[in-house]
Amino acid sequence: MGIFAFSAPDPCNAFITRIPEAEYGDGKLAGVSIAVKDNISTKGIPTTCGSKILEGYIPPYDAHVVELLRAEGAAIVGKTNMDEFGMGTTTENSAYGPTLNPADRERVPGGSSGGSAAAVASGMVAMALGTDTGGSIRCPAAFCGIVGMKPTYGRVSRYGLVAYANSLEQIGPMAANVPDISLLLQVLTCHDPRDSTSITAPYTHTPDPDIHGLKVGVPEEYFGKGVDPRVASIVWEGISLLERLGAEIITCRMPSMDYALAAYYVTCMSEASSNLARFDGVRYGPPADPKKQWHESFQERRRDGFGKEVRRRVMLGTFALSSGYYGKYYAKAQSARRNVAADFSRLFSEVDVLAGPTMPTIAFRVGEKSDPLSMYLSDILTVPANLAGVPAISVPCGKVDGMPVGLQIMGRWCADERVIDVAYAFEEGVSA
Contact 18, 10 (CB under 8 A): yes
Cα gap 144→302, rounded to integer Å? 33
Instruction: Return the SS3 of 130.
Output: strand
Cα gap 255→305, rounded to integer Å? 40
Instruction: Return the SS3 of 210.
Output: coil
CB-facing half-sphere around the CA of 432: CA atoms within 13 A: 11
| Amino acid identity, position 119 | A
CB contact burial 308-326 (16+ within 10 A = b; e otherwise): ebbbebbebbbebbeeeee
Cα gap 293→22, rounded to integer Å? 44
Q: What is the largest CA-CA distance in the chain?
A: 71
Contact 145, 162 (CB under 8 A): no
Contact 63, 79 (CB under 8 A): no
Beta-carbon contacts of 156 under 8 Å, excluding residues fewer than 6 positions away, are 65, 170, 171, 172, 185, 188, 189
Contact 92, 128 (CB under 8 A): no
> Looking at the chain, how many residues does it have?
432
Q: What phi-psi label fits residue 160: left (phi over 0), alpha (psi between -120 and 50 degrees) or beta?
A: left
Give the residue numbers marked as catalytic. Answer: 37, 112, 136
Q: Rounded to 5, what percent of the chain is helix, strand, coil?
A: 35, 20, 45
Instruction: Return the SS3 of 297.
Output: helix
Instruction: Return the SS3 of 128.
Output: strand
* Cα 206 to Cα 157, 182, 392, distances in angstroms: 21, 7, 17
Cα gap 370→330, rounded to integer Å? 26
